[in-house]
Amino acid sequence: MSSLSAAKTAPPGGPRRRRWLSAVAALALLPSLLASPMPAMAQGGPRISIIRDTEVEEIIHKQGEPVWRAAGLNPDNVHIVIMGDPDINAFTAGGQTIFVNTGFLQATKNPNQMLGVLAHETGHITGGHVARESMYKPALATYLLTMGLGLLAAVAGAPDAGAALLYSSDYFATLTALTYSRQQEAAADMAGASFLEKAHLSGRGLVDFFDYFRYQEAFSDARKYRFFIDHPLTEERISSLQDKVQKSPYYNVVDSPDALAEHAIMVAKLKAFMNAPQQTFIDYKETDASFPARYARAIAYYRALETDKALKLTQALIDDYPNNPYLYELKGQILFESGKPKDAADNLTKAVALKPKAPLLQIMLGQELLAQEDKTKVDEAIVHLRKALEMENDNAEAYFILAQAWAAKGDEGRARLNTAEQNFYLGQMKDARAFAMRARESLAKDSPDYRRATDIVLASQPSPDEMRAIARQGG
């Protein structure tokens, strides 16, 4: 769906409608939590999505930080990108970025297994095992897009994509290019084990994870999990790793109760959103009164469109855990999609109050304030969207919603500028340049916004005519 003028024309009101985002197309509708099956990929490709969720990201990052510090990395510079893919896989792709599939996260039995694989991938990072980055870097350019609000804002490929997409055939070409050599695998194993030991953590989980799936080596490539195609296992490699981790004084260290609880919540949430609701009810039976099970069932009822049951379960959880921001987020999401944006915003306000430094929550609140179609709420929405962009200045979705807010105020210049920003961070340079040129016509000359519009034009390969236009206007 083309929406190059959506920032001016798309109505912000009404319940949030489900839709899939093109990775390099402007966003025409507001995104939602996944409430329907995963979208089919363009051109008949496999189903792939990027997942953004504050709670899940926070759990992974919190548990991975000791490993990254032990590796000499600044945890703030390590990026985890979650792929909505049931296959078991994790890989690095240049810089300090680790991609993990939801299939991998759900397959880990405990935090130590997840940490073991993260440590292994960190070994690839510190070992510089992505020397062929130039071969696939274009296909990964769009992974930085932070366009989702809540869990599972899916991104579908588009046949007219201007940039190579991670989510189409280039994604799978990338996976092929990312197959490491056996020497690199062994080196990453040893480095990962060393990082775990330095962090006073056990390496048992990494060996257990490899050992659990090692029988896949007996299958044809078509039946192997992606991880073990990209990271080929050998008996010698597993034996060497086993010997290394068993010598660690921390081999018998076990996961803390808090880490186990967080991991169970993460897995339950992912399963509830990724799997069919009926599968969730099988996995988390009504007789299971644990928090993860109750959480998963609340999500499953929401996805099954049984709104009353979902709200009842979510409210019961809030009554028991009144300081959990993600429960208010879930309730807000349910209410918003039920056509109650004001009640939704009230719950998101509580979520933001409990976790003000979560940009996705700030964006979601700004979106829901704007959806009320109340002019008195527009300035408040702008405040929250700007706060989000202070923390994630490359969040294309925030720019899209902010453009709507400025359009609601009748500020065409800033609406166009934010649409230009949105397209710029989506990699749509032609559209970014066009909107930035139009923004300059309405913005005060020499203002910060005017200069930013000019910067976007200059950074997006302007034509000679556009350069002459800028020169005529005085830069």
pLDDT higher than 90, residue 464: no
> pLDDT tens across 183-219, in order?
788 889 999 999 999 999 999 999 998 887 765 554 5
* Structure-block tokens of residue 392: 């994630």
Confidence of residue 234 (pLDDT cuts 50, 70, 90): low
Domain count along the chain: 1
165 occurs within a structural domain: yes
Chain Cα centroid distance, residue 179: 23
Say which residue, 219 or 40, is predicted with more confidence. 219
> pLDDT tens across 286-312, in order?
999 999 999 999 999 999 999 999 999
Distances, alpha carbon 373 to alpha carbons 309, 341, 388, in Å? 28, 9, 21
For residue 118, what are the domain limits?
48-246
Residue partners of 222: CB distance under 8 A and separation at least 6:
none
Confidence of residue 1 (pLDDT cuts 50, 70, 90): very low
pTM of the model as a whole: 0.79
> pLDDT tens across 70-126, in order?
999 999 999 998 988 888 888 887 788 898 989 999 999 999 999 999 999 999 999
Looking at residues 27-40, what average pLDDT do you find? 27
447 occurs within a structural domain: no
Tell me what pLDDT residue 426 has.
Answer: 84
According to DSSP, residue 17 is labeled P
469 occurs within a structural domain: no
Looking at residues 169-174, what average pLDDT do you find? 44
> pLDDT tens across 251-275, in order?
999 999 999 999 999 999 999 999 9
Q: Which residue has the tokens 């206007």?
A: 473
362 occurs within a structural domain: no
Burial (CB count <10 Å: 0-12, 13-18, 19+), residue 377:
buried
12 occurs within a structural domain: no
Q: Please tell me the distance from the alpha carbon of residue 63 to that of residue 142, in angstroms, as a whole number.
A: 26
CATH number of the domain within which 182 lies = 3.30.2010.10
373 occurs within a structural domain: no
Q: Which of 407, 413, 358, 348 is nearest to 382 (CA)?
A: 407
